[in-house]
């Protein structure tokens, strides 16, 4: 019998769209993927070279449970350079992606029945990490005109003696919106609870810069990793930065459930943080060109972009003037014009009527995909 808790895990709806797209591709159709949330770039060569060197150098054994000290030190240096915050290697857990790091953070702070506040809409996995650790999900509604950012007074209404954490994500998946300093500061005021700040899209920012929650409070868990900024999704490398008092428990959790992240991949991670700046700058400039193009085209077609996305690689477009059932439409779009898009409902009820478009694809494919979409949308205009 399948456990009730396991049954309650929700699936990624975008996977259903991708399965449909793949079925069409097997039949010989040319599908353009604007649904996928991963960089289309190859991992920079300085990084793959570091991994190859590490393998040749026998870096193929377990490492410290919290991660290689050299990598954790490099992460400390990176957070100091980027944000001017002082952290020490004892505050960092390196794991096989940000995903397990987030699960372990939840295990470290939640007892059965403890509550975590998340926004609606938000990245669809958050609720499942909370549930896996025995926690309860408390949703706070957010509004398109405000870039789907929390209203602090709405968070206050949801606080209870069981509230342990508030999840934030900037730049955001699905909206691409970057939180301002003031917005982060107002989140940091909830310092009786922990702020869990998913900073995985940091660095992929096209105006100003993103600020870390650690600039405003120490009572935070930061989730970050290598998948997006360094085009390393398949390497599986990410980390969590936590308040010092969690060092021993995080080490114990990781010893038991993971032992350690891969050694040679961690050496590659050091190269990413210290040697890949030029590669990252190139990718950021290409993403930005695609972002501008996509925004112009979507607006011309009549989609509403309430707050301009200046980070990550997504546009969350309001399609309510055309239709409301985003799930049904995403399937129709892929079937009729062979373009994969992510239905807004994937991110919670607050995303209904929206579509998420990813610009982690070549400009040529984006142009062709949007031409096809324009033909599709034509029937509603
Ligand atoms: N957080 C967000 C907001 C994401 O979009 C993703 C990847 N889709 C992750 C976390 C997980 O990333 P990874 O496990 O590859 O580090």
Of all protein residues, the one whose alpha carbon is nearest to atom 3 of ligand 1 is 173
Query: What is the four-CA torsion angle of 354, 360, 363, 369, rounded to 10 degrees?
Result: -40
Best of 173, 174, 265 to mutate for ligand 1, by most ligand atoms within 8 A of CB? 173
41 CA → ligand 1 middle, Å: 16
**Ligand 1 center from residue 23 Cα (angstroms):** 25
Relative to beta strand 314-318, strand 354-358 is antiparallel
Give me 313's structure tokens.
Answer: 């690689």
Q: What is residue 233's predicted lDDT score, i.e. its pLDDT? A: 97
Strand 238-241 relative to strand 220-225: parallel, antiparallel, unpaired? antiparallel
Q: Which long-range contacts (CB under 8 A, 24 or more apart) does 281-285 make?
A: 283/39, 283/41, 283/231, 284/203, 284/204, 284/205, 284/206
- Tell me the CATH class for 4-42+278-380: alpha beta
**Which residue(s) pair with 159 in the sheet?**
none
Residue that has been written with the tokens 């408390």 in this structure: 138
Per-residue pLDDT reduced to its tens digit, 109-132: 999 999 999 999 999 999 999 999
- pLDDT in the model for residue 346: 96
CA gap 298, 233 in Å, rounded: 28
pLDDT for res 251: 98
Segments making up each domain of the chain, as ranges: 4-42+278-380, 45-276
* Total H helices, total E strands in the chain: 13, 12
pLDDT score at 343: 97
Of 235, 4, 227, 212, give the one whose Cα is nearest residue 98: 227
Structure tokens, 156: 């206050």
- Give 226 Cα–ligand 1 centroid separation in angstroms: 10
Q: Which amino acid residue places its CA nearest to atom 5 of ligand 1?
A: 173
The per-residue pLDDT for range 57-114, each reduced to its tens digit, is 999 999 999 999 999 999 999 999 999 999 999 999 999 999 999 999 999 999 999 9
26 CA to middle of ligand 1, Å? 28
Q: Is 337 exposed, middle or buried (0-12, 13-18, 19+ CB in 10 A)?
A: middle
Q: What pTM was computed for the model? A: 0.97
Q: Residue 381: its pLDDT value, please?
A: 73
Report how far ligand 1's centroid is from the alpha carbon of 257 (Å).
Answer: 20
Q: How confident is the model at residue 13, as a pLDDT?
A: 86
Question: Counting every residue, how long is the chain?
Answer: 381
Q: Is 141 left (phi over 0), alpha (psi -120 to 50) or beta?
A: beta
Pairwise CA distance, residues 339 & 198, whole Å: 29
CA of 377 to the centre of ligand 1 (A): 30
Q: Under the phi-then-psi rule, with left for phi > 0, alpha for psi from -120 to 50, and beta for the rest, what region is 108?
A: alpha
The string of DSSP codes covering 89-137 is GGGEEEESSHHHHHHHHHHHH--TT-EEEEEES--TTHHHHHHHTT-EE
What whole-number distance in Å separates Cα of residue 287 and Cα of residue 366?
Answer: 11
CA 321 to ligand 1 center in whole angstroms: 30
Residues 181 and 147 sit within 8 Å (Cβ to Cβ): no
Question: In angstroms, rounded to a whole number, what is the distance separating the alpha carbons of residues 350 and 338?
Answer: 26
pLDDT of residue 368: 98
Hey, which of 200, 230, 258 would you mutate to test ligand 1's pocket, going by the most ligand atoms within 8 Å of its Cβ?
Answer: 200
Q: Which atom of ligand 1 is nearest to the CA of 98?
A: 16
pLDDT for residue 11: 86
The residue behind tokens 């060197």 is 53
Question: Residues lining ligand 1, judged by CB closer than 6 Å?
Answer: 37, 97-99, 123, 169, 173, 198, 200, 225, 227, 233, 238
In the CATH hierarchy, which fold is given to the domain comprising 45-276?
A: 3.40.640
**pLDDT under 50: residue ranges of the chain:** none
């Amino acid at each position: 019998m399948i456990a009730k808790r396991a049954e309650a895990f929700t699936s990624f709806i975008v996977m259903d769209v991708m399965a449909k797209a793949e079925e069409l591709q097997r039949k010989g159709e040319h599908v353009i993927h604007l649904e996928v949330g991963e960089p289309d770039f190859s991992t920079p060569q300085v990084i793959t070279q570091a991994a190859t060197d590490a393998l040749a150098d026998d870096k193929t054994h377990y490492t410290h449970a919290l991660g290689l000290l050299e990598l954790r030190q490099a992460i400390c240096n990176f957070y100091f350079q980027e944000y001017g915050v002082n952290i020490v290697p004892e505050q960092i857990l390196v794991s096989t992606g940000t995903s397990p790091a987030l699960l372990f953070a939840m295990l470290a702070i939640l007892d059965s029945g403890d509550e975590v506040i998340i926004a609606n809409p938000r990245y669809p996995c958050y609720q499942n990490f909370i549930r896996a650790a025995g926690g309860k999900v408390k949703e706070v509604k957010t509004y398109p005109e405000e870039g789907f950012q929390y209203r602090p007074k709405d968070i206050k209404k949801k606080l209870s003696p069981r509230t342990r954490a508030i999840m934030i994500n900037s730049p955001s998946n699905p909206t691409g919106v970057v939180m301002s300093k003031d917005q982060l500061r107002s989140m940091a005021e909830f310092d009786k609870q922990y702020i869990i700040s998913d900073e995985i899209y940091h660095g992929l920012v096209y105006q100003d810069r993103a600020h870390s929650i650690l600039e405003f409070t120490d009572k935070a868990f930061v989730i970050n990793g290598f998948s997006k900024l360094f085009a390393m999704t398949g390497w599986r490398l990410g980390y969590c930065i936590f308040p010092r008092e969690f060092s021993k428990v995080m080490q114990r959790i990781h010893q038991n459930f993971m032992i350690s992240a891969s050694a040679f991949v961690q050496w590659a991670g050091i190269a990413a943080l210290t040697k890949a700046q030029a590669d990252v700058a190139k990718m950021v400039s290409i993403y930005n060109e695609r972002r501008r193009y996509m925004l112009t085209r979507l607006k011309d077609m009549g989609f509403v972009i309430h707050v301009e996305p200046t980070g990550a690689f997504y546009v969350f477009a309001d399609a309510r003037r055309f239709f409301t059932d985003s799930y049904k439409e995403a399937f129709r779009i892929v079937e009729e014009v062979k373009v994969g898009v992510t239905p807004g409902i994937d991110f919670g009820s607050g995303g209904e009527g929206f579509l998420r478009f990813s610009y982690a694809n070549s400009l040529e494919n984006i142009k062709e995909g949007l031409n096809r979409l324009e033909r599709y949308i034509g029937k509603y205009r």
